[in-house]
Structure 1
Amino acid sequence: MNRDKQLKDISVVLAEKQHWQWISAGLLALLLLLMLVLMGKSHDTKTIFIPPNAGSAEKPFWVADAGASPEYFQMTADYVTQLALTGDAKSAPYSIDRLMGVVHPSIRGVLKAELDAAALKMKAENVTQAFYPVEYHLGDNRPVVVIKGTLKTWVGDKLTSNRDAMYRMTFSVEAGRIYMTEFVETSPHDPFNTTPTTPPTGATP
């Protein structure tokens, strides 16, 4: 009897073991399927920002690992033009240093050299300049912003230049970070450089 009971108990244990083996196999298959689904999904996180001043003209914008909304590129372009085109010899070092933070490494050296040369000229000639944006135009399928405005230049306290100017800024997104890859004065006839005849250069201060 004892032997029969032991054999019966062993068969029950083996049956339960097999049962749990099937459950474990099913759970493992489900886990593998879940991992494949998660690997196929985008891990891009989009964060939406709302300006603190609800009555301002600024619109909400979003930033994600793979890009940003057009409004964000417009704000960045406005930031760039103010740093690069507004100021005097005293503020130039600070503005250039801040500007380099958004410039792509591939053009950083060239652009800094051009801005440093412009700052030396401003100091030698006692020049102050300011850019007043009036229009923004965004690229259709690429992160490009064209800003039109008025560029004023003073030598001492005398206004020596007051002209319309248009600048084009191109951006790229790398590993969730946005860089400026181009900053040039452009023509109103072809502001987005849709028919380039020569390779783009660094920047025009």
Structure 2
Amino acid sequence: MTPGLLIILSGPSGTGKGTVCDILSKNNPSLVFSISMTTRPPRPEEKEGKNYFFVTEHKFKKMIEEEAFLEWAKVYGYYYGTPRHNVEINLTEGKDVLLEIDTQGAKKVKSNYSKGVFIFLLPPSLQELRRRIEERGTEDPEKIQERFSAASLEILEVEYYNYLTVNDIPERAAQHIRSIIEAEKCRVNRNKGLIDRLRRGELIQCP
């Protein structure tokens, strides 16, 4: 069986990564959204087991010791990580797995999964980015400025990624990402087994 694609989506806080991931997951049943774990408190609209697994710092650190994370990082004072087990099982079963993680985590994943598809989500403008961060209404002005300043620098991390897309309209950004996934599935170096089957006289289909 051909292993699934590992798709990594990153972008500054406020670019709308969660919204785009929701659109991708709803319209593509073969795409598994990997749920991250975090020590930060949930936002009003977030649900346990859907957006994140919310855990204590003590439990998170214990899982670090057990090497239970594919990647983890400390961002804005809170820990975030991707549980390793489910990701590896889904990839082995041929399912595509989508990770929504920060740039620190993406670099760690890239060192272990060089065949991953790394996509960076950009805002249409810095003004719009700040508006989105403020619109959340979950943080004080000092925290908002901290996130905005960090986001402005984080945009420079795009050079470590394979692709970029702009989230001016979430549905359009999601469609761009779908197109990237379809193109990646057709890469020759991902389909050596397909060529072998054709040469053996077997019937093949488009990946």
Bin for the TM-score computed over the shorter chain: under 0.3
TM-score normalised by structure 2 residue count: 0.22
Looking at CA atoms only, which structure, 1 or 2, has the larger radius of gyration?
Answer: 1
More helix by share: 2
- The structure showing larger relative contact order (alpha-carbon pairs under 8 Å, at least 6 residues apart) is 2
